Structure 1
Amino acid sequence: TSPQFNLHLTDWINEKNDDVVLQHNCLHFFHSFQTSLSHQMISFCMSESPWKFDIKPNTLDQVFTFVELYKQNITSEQLYYWSIPIDIIENYQRYVNQLSIGDNTSSIMMMGTQLLYNCTSPRFGPQCQYSLDNYLSTDVSLNEIINSYYVQPYESKILTCYIHLQCNRGLISICLDWSEICDGRIDCDDGSDEEHCWIIMNNKCKDDEYRCNNGQCISKIFVNDSLNSFDCLDRSDEHQISSIYFQDNNTLPIFENENIICSWREALTYSFSSRSVFTSSCMHQRHSLIAQAMFSYEPDFLSYNCFFALKCRFNIPLYDNSYCSDFCKNEECTEMIGQYCPTLFYFPSVPIAYGHVYFAYTIQHVMNSTNMRLIPPEYICYNEQLCNEFQSNGTLLIFDGKICRHIQDFLPLVDINRGDWYFSYVRPIHAQLSHCNKIIHGNNSIVCNNSNMYQCMNSLKCIPLSYIGDGIQDCDYADDEEQTLIDRMCSIDQSMIFYKCETTNKCIHRTRIENGYCDCQLDEYGICDDENIELNKMKRKIRFSTICNNFVDLLPVIINGQHHTDETDCQFWPCNNTYTRCDGIWNCLNGADETDCESSLLKCPSYHHICVSPVTNQLVCLPIEKANDRIIDCLGGTDEPALCSITNDFNQQQKFLCKGNNISSCISPTYLCDRRIDCEYGDDENFCNSNSTMWNFVPNDPSNSDAQEFFYAYFYKTLFKPKSVESLLIESKNLDINT
């Protein structure tokens, strides 16, 4: 089956030959996020004037008038499968409708002369003038083509630039990105990228609004509503932002990837994060190109021989340095450094942090480091006026107007034999010297007297309240990270900056929620307040309809000395009831609550289940008597849910039983059709026609097999059912109740 390429807005074009061009000739791509029950429609449109293209008359494809189509009883649905543009299909249906009511006016007769081209695949469009470069004859849907395109690796060698602000950042080859404006750190030499940004930080939100970390205000109803769409530019309206990956150019242009900021502060907050301290862009290429440019800038104070010998000797893994094998042979690099380099020098020659922090080396240090893969910096040099209150009185050195300290004063446990320059030295120094950020406001009463700002102790510095307790020291004395201050600010917090632990009454910054660490204390059931927030809520409050559904959802309460849950005394509660009937989930072990339910997949007799034959991978009907009899009749063991038993609604794993009838062979449905064989006999992949997994499945796509449609419907509700707290009615308080 050939895929359909139905263009939209083919008639939405400015007919005048001028520069005003609307988006037109659009292909719509449907993307589904099953984890949040949200969907997105992405449009790929032409934006250039059609007058720029010389479209030659089409003499290869069949051409019809509306009159001819009507006489042949061609329907609009048939035109859709011909890849006819939607506008033309709608016009044809309008023409058919008017004829059906006897409208024979001249305008309808004129409409009947409209031409329609039946394009030969893979061409499409009003005149068959378009085709896709990466089209393959094996492609069966537009969604599959687009998904395949974006999984192909693509490494950009250029950056997008914000051209409306002249910015000299000391690195000629690196321009300013829009995400680096007002990100809390100066990137331009003149500070123009952070000028007047305090106005945003002092922004006050309304009572029904949520204040993002960057000062932006959004409605509170959008907070934590979906991991797949952010309403704050800095993504601070959603938990688990630390889990969002560093993007590449080949990511889908969906909401979670477009117009977002990955603040450089996140790299300091999340120790395991792949974020960059060099930029607030979410594009990995910008980090790499900035790091490369730092080592490519040749300063006047280093000779050519010294500079290139250093690049080769330091073995910086950021660029192609294959020339080093010829440039430096038999320790010649080390000899050249000793001969041509100054006694003390910066390398790289530009600041590595906050616009004034440098790595410095002596020749002797480099000469003595011949056996190391990567030479650690010997000194950290900085502007003393911007860095105060160091605890160590270690070795001080003045160089180029800056104070230099030995690296051991900052990183006493640094592993000098590690081979990762960025993670070993750059990011730790950013964290250690975070209070040296020269954007931190000082001696500015207009800024610091605002209610959204905090005045640092014994200092002229002030910081936004959203910086308090975020794990980054912004004040000289680190008072912004003291628990007493965090708890005090939490008690008056109106901006949802802090989260109060139910177990200990301790307050933590919202960026610590679901960050992979338990910042609140574990309760008696081993549940952490700040991790798995929704699970925590649902363990204490559940929907009435989830009582006695074979899943323990509610935390136990002690009644008359006995532990009771929502699954206690369920022998008096029928599993097949109004709330469980035909909801897509087997609440009865034999699935009695899901028989005789309407399905478009297969019509079965009464008291039968639809399932996939493990022999043919085709849909069959199974009598209810064969369900839950401990004999596997259906692929994946869907007729025997007890064999892949799970403890509660929130365990999303091990629900598909691989052939072999072994409990250890149960896998997550998310592994189905992922082009990787997880079951011994490949039964998790053998029924797949398309490469749509449970994460990106598009229902009713022609490329899906019937088995894929079935498993999607079978597992969908239990994997991705909504966790809306508004509908919760039953509450558990962990109290002793005696009657």
Structure 2
Amino acid sequence: MADKYAHALALNLTSNDIFLCKCTLHGTFGKYCQYQLTHNSDSFESSVHAQFDEYERSNESYGWGIQHHGQIICYETLFCDHGLLCLDWHDICDGEQNCIDGRDEENCDKLEFNECNQGEYRCLNGMCIAEEFWLDGEPDCMDWSDEKVNTYTGWWCNTLPSNQECDEHICDYRTAWSCGDGECVRWQQRFPFQNVLPTVDDCYNLRNLYFMCEVRTNHREKLWTQINGMCTNNLWYDVGHPNMIINSNESRREMCIYLIRCSLSTNFYCPCDASNCRMLMNDYCDKNILYPYPDGAVIRPYLFLSYNWENLNLMPDSLIIFGSIKCRGYQAFAFGEEIRLTFEMVRFNRLDYLLCLSNSTNFTSSIQYDETCWNNSLTFNGQPYDFYDICQYTRECISQYRISNQYIDCPYSDDERTIIEEDLCSNIQQYRFQCSNDQHSCLTVQTLGDQSTHCDNYFDENFYGSGRFFNEFICEIDNKDSCNLLKDYLQHESNVSISNIVSPSRIRFRAYCDGEWNLGDHSDESSVFCLQWICRQDQYQCKTGQCIELSWICDGTWDCQDGSDEEAISLNQPWSKHNRKLEKILNDRITKCKERFHFQPFKNLCNLSYEYPCYLNVTNPLDIIKNHPCIPLSQIGDGIAHCYGGLDEKNTFDDGYNQMKGYNLRCSNGGFFQYPYACRNDTCWDPILCSYKSTNISYCSGLNDVLCLNGICIKNGRCNEEFECQFGEDEH
């Protein structure tokens, strides 16, 4: 319209058909003045700013206007079976199969192995940008890997009007989930009901909760799922059944699912809540039947959740995979296989891998990833693929430039834990950070100053290991000096040898006694030193003196090296002067510990109030009658392996890579593998810790079958939170 008006003025045109109304009402515009700007604004720019200012001023945690007046944004170009939640364009080529048979990942593996031309910077995801855009202060890669910015959250994307960079932002490959608007949340928030890991922030737009809003655990305010799948906290939106009026077209099944939602949400106009829905359920729900909620696939197009209405909890009673996806060299099917929600699944996004483990496969199907990972062909621009087969257990096809970059891409961390002697990053080394000639790495600029030491010489945290900390370097469009310094450092640091560098003793003040190793000799976590340390008022002090966050107590992971935040918390009493100030909170945590650790293997042989159950580090640990499988809690973290495999020294022994051992098992090839999964592959087998596996292929050989010490086979009994072997060794 403005162009037409300018054209008429320029040519001095006059016609009864050419006109433009003069808008006198404040903020109105259009040919007939039919539009009006919001917030009493006089310009489009001020109107947009006013809307985002309102977001920030809101006392609510989320923009409920989005939920009540908006719709789920869908990518409609690709038609596929995606489950209840439609595709967002960020779901395309994100490394996750969001469609049955992986239609959203078609040919994306070719982009993964893309090679850039001379003078181009290769982004982490294979995208190419002009070299001059690398470290220029503005993200140009869709994964933001060309700049030293927080690539993880993009939490500001909903409160800034100029968010074009957010619109095209894609999330980290393995550990983040896209909210659809540039914001990323940790993958664990895709399981809003989970209690395996501490909960963190949801998407601002709550997309991670859609179609299952009632099961959110990380906020006191209860939500309800609207008809369109979005969430509401408002009494007047889509509640339904306010007086328990049953529509003629509703079945008993539909009514039962409705009452399950009421019980989970304790919310709104429901005729009942968690405390009294049971009576109504008796009228509509069949006994010994699990009911689906949501009523369709969610999280993945092949994952279905079900609840036991007779004993309701936010955590589903059953997770079933039913569908098909493509795997490397074959198509995999699952027809109602039940899976368990594990730490690894919640933290590292392993759902596709679990389906690929299915025994139902089709090797002749065209629906599969290339068996050779395109290693025998050329890229788009005629260059050979640079591929190294690193994911030895799960066989994903990933670019060799993802190896040793401190981003976990193989589900079992093979790409970061396996020591590779050759330099796989040489083609793009001028843009990546190599620790030294002795320690090959392929780090992007984001790892500099990320407060996690990745190089033995600390060159990724301090300037040449002892100078300025890299988190002090701000590369922005108006601070090109820092950008240029980072460029120069990345391109010259790799010529330094570790043998020529003295390991520094300078680390951040807050990195001492925090439960994590930051110095090469681990002296920053020495109990001799930490017992003299003073914790923040909002931290818990371990018996060793280490200071940890209160939310870490009784979360199932040892953060104190002596386990005094978990099983051995009773040994930290009476409370120190510091902890006495937190006594009420700590007493609640102790109750949580008792509930969590009441369920442990060998509990009928050990006194869990002062003993820790484990196979002993003796000649024949499997003879648990002679070798009582319990050690005193006081022996945890004392630097001596009393348990077989050093299970009691998870936070004092290293894993061969200068990292805490944790639950890693040393394999026969010298490497380490996570113990719960080690025994699934012949390349990492331990006769004691893998003793539950049958060596007879025809007997008790299922993936989760357990051969008890007395020879009895328990089908699917491995770590299912039920004691089925005589001594509970199926849960060890």
TM-score normalised over the length of structure 2:
0.43
Please say which structure displays the higher CA radius of gyration.
Answer: 1
